[in-house]
């Protein structure tokens, strides 16, 4: 049964963690596109006023709140899937 544990640690956990992060990143990207490009500009005048007063547009808001979190989710997902976050946590506990 040791083989199953090693297989689970080496293959199953990284693949599932990567899959969770990819699904979460794609969902965030699609949801933020709908939110910042479709829903908020059409339904809330305050949002349009606030965006235009800051000298920007809806696409810039989407780029900031859509793509930067997506990239951060994927980067953190790489560290989580590789096991580095667990190593950092153990290192911090041993300080």
User: What are the extents of the domains in the chain?
Assistant: 14-93
Is residue 62 within 8 Å of residue 40, measured between CB atoms?
no
pLDDT tens across 27-80, in order? Answer: 999 999 999 999 999 889 999 999 999 999 999 999 999 999 999 999 999 998
CA 15-16-17 angle, to 5 degrees, is: 95
Look at residue 12 in the predicted model and tell me its pLDDT. Answer: 82
pLDDT tens across 1-41, in order? Answer: 566 777 777 778 888 899 999 999 999 999 999 999 999 99
Look at residue 11 in the predicted model and tell me its pLDDT. Answer: 78
**DSSP-assigned letter for residue 94:** T
**DSSP-assigned letter for residue 10:** I
pLDDT tens across 82-93, in order? Answer: 888 888 888 899
- Other Cβ atoms closer than 10 A to 15: 11
In the structure encoding, which two tokens stand for residue 25, read together?
A: 């990143």
Look at residue 1 in the predicted model and tell me its pLDDT. Answer: 55
Look at residue 51 in the predicted model and tell me its pLDDT. Answer: 92
Rounded to an integer, what is the distance from CA 8 to the centroid of its chain?
25
């Amino acid at each position: 049964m040791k083989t199953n544990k090693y297989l689970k640690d080496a293959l199953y956990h990284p693949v599932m963690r990567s899959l969770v992060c990819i699904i979460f990143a794609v969902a965030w990207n699609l949801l933020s596109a709908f939110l910042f490009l479709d829903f908020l500009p059409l339904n809330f005048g305050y949002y349009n006023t606030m965006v235009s007063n800051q000298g920007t547009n809806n696409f810039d808001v989407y780029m900031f709140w859509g793509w930067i979190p997506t990239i951060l989710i994927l980067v953190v997902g790489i560290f989580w899937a590789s096991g580095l976050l667990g190593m950092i946590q153990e290192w911090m506990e041993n300080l």
